Structure 1
Amino acid sequence: MSWIIFYLTNISINTNFFGTNQTSLDSLFQYTSLIISLLSLSMATPNSNDDGPIPFQITLETNSNLSQSAPQKYDDFMASLPLTTLDHRRIRLYQGFWIPEDYLRGVLTIQEHFTSRPNDLFVASYPKSGTTWLKALIFATMTRKKYPLDQNPLLVYNPHQCIVYIDKHCSLGRSRIVEAIPSPRVLSTHIPYSILPDSITGSDCRMIYVWRDPKDVIVSLWHFAQKVYEGTPNLPSFSESFELFCEGKSYFGPIWNHIIEYWQESKKKPEKVLFLKYEDMLEEPIKYARILAKFIGCPYSEAEEKQGVIEQVVGLCSFEKLKDLEVNKRGSGTILDGNFSFAAFFRKGMVGDWRNHMTSEMAQRLDGIVAEKFKEAGLEMINMKSETTLGCSD
């Protein structure tokens, strides 16, 4: 109950969020009514949620007493690892990948202590590869029988508040809160597959991985950093960020190895890892909504098909719908070293924006690097589309 009191108290006095005109007050009333409805639905099944997960934000608020100090035991070890900086953040080379130093504590904590459950579902991706959209689709799909679509938590919570990003929260000392999430848990990670603990890779839990044209990824990463670190002196130019990206020096990079590892595992264990291409999902969202639902274990019934439920779910999770919600226009979240607006997750949501930032020589260079790495692993380059807009940029 504490989280709802906290929310209502703060949202009602924060006129910067809704404003004071009649339209804004109507939005506040609708928003508050929806929150109360979600509370009653969540309280009905506090320990087990057969109809789908509850928003992580609810678990976070109701179990805040379980939070501990950020783990410091790994600091000496981390200090021994190769170091560079990116967007003013320190990143360390660990087991072949460049991990943000502030998240590396969480990665090491997960490796040592995380215990998966057989019915856990992981949303895995390289940063800025369609994660926000995929989270929304998965959450809406899994909760469609728990919440009416016009009362879905996605209408009041950012997708990242619905599905927990374990790398971040374990870095903040919230491992016990992650453990307190009722089953079925939906958890997200940017951790490369080879760095995941055996409790995940060797268990019966399932993973859905999405990847995206690396050229659009670096564009999205750069814009995200510009928004998050706005006002920070000496931020790298796009050209400078591009050079580092091509060298493999990026968050959880090199990106090509990140993609290859999950692809290889999807070939070995297709029942465990579903490997998706962002561009394909944008091209045929209904088709992939069905694929997601079947893999998750909650396929659409014939009656739902006839009623257009799939189309409604896809519509709820569309770029324009999510971008226009109050929480995503005016809400904010945190990374470990600061706050940022949720609007940073919703820029263009399109394929091919790299054309507005790269010369043909730059594009050919990155394509060549990725194609060579993919060819060595047996993975072919995706045929990239140039104009599709439906999902979110991360």
Structure 2
Amino acid sequence: MLAGKRILLIIGGGIAAFKSLDLIRRLRERGATVTPVLTKAAEEFVTPLSASALSAQKVYRDLFDLTDEAEMGHIELSRAADLVVVAPATADLMGKMAGGLANDLASTLLMATDKRVLLAPAMNVRMWEHPATQRNLETLKGDGILFVGPTEGDMACGEFGPGRMSEVPDIVAAVEAALMDGPLKGKHIVVTSGPTHEPIDPVRYIANRSSGAQGTAIARALAALGAQVTFVTGPASVAPPEGVKVVKVETAQQMLQAVQRGLPADAAIFAAAVADWRVENASDSKMKKTKGGTPDLSFAENPDILATVSGMTKGRPSLVVGFAAETDDVIAHATAKRQRKGCDWIVANDVSPETGIMGGAENSVTVIRTDGTEEWPRMSKDQVAARLANAIAEALA
């Protein structure tokens, strides 16, 4: 998807620099040419040899390399690329950019470039939250600099919070979104993901084992093809993707409302594992164990989001895709579900415990359409998402 694209990758100094090596590999897998630039501090974490071996390109390190500067190398480097990516973007690099400093090769390239620049910040949580960093962030955004992350999580220093560099797939997706006028440009797609939590009382709820990984991967893949994505997610265990509009919900009723607010759309992809029932008599305070035994819970059926959108007579998306997570007679149950719900496609998968699919990194799906059934081999959820996104692009063309 990045065939022929040229990326100048500036690697800043920080423990997250190890991810930059995987980033090089992933970008090259998609057809991009990657030219690495290492700061002095970056060389404390990754070696020029490893970056050169993975990129199959010369690694640039010194502003005063006479061979390169004889031909104004830093100017050529900064303008020959289609996109400049800084990963990790340290607090120091962000400060230099915001202040217009150019005292080493990396900062000089960033000042000299006439191409778009994408930063993937990575730093200690206190550094990220410092007023100076936040001022620099706003300045850079005002200058048109693109950002992916940072995310929240555990850090090498032992602290927890925002400042963690985005994972490589999210950075790749942000690169693709910045570079590509993809086949889904101008299309708006709603994607649901994750489980729903139906409260029993303020501390207990009914849920399922969905991680939200497949829905997240689908949203990321659609955005990479140029789509405007509204991502409606329940309480998933994976972070939402970058570059999409994220709407967080808890319950099935909230998810339906968020989907309806997200319409109109060209397509709607319902990958969420929505609870079929909710507790009608949920308590406003924590239920106590009593000698009388188990509480008397009354259940009510949740709204059917897929059927509701599929059955719309006005403003229905031209393509509605549902998911069928089954444990037996997968194809038969999924085929019946597509007919019953009225959707265009059903993506069926076997979520029996022995498959490891629900909550796992891989998936094995069968796509059921009006014109036939297509079984896909087991592959990573990212690969499933990319293949599905391409099929959606063809259908909406």
Query: Common fold, TM-score beyond 0.5?
Result: no
Larger strand proportion of the pair = 2
Structure scoring higher RCO (CA < 8 A, sep ≥ 6) equals 1
Larger Rg: 2
- Give TM-score, length-normalised by structure 2: 0.29
Larger helix proportion of the pair = 1
- Give TM-score, length-normalised by structure 1: 0.29
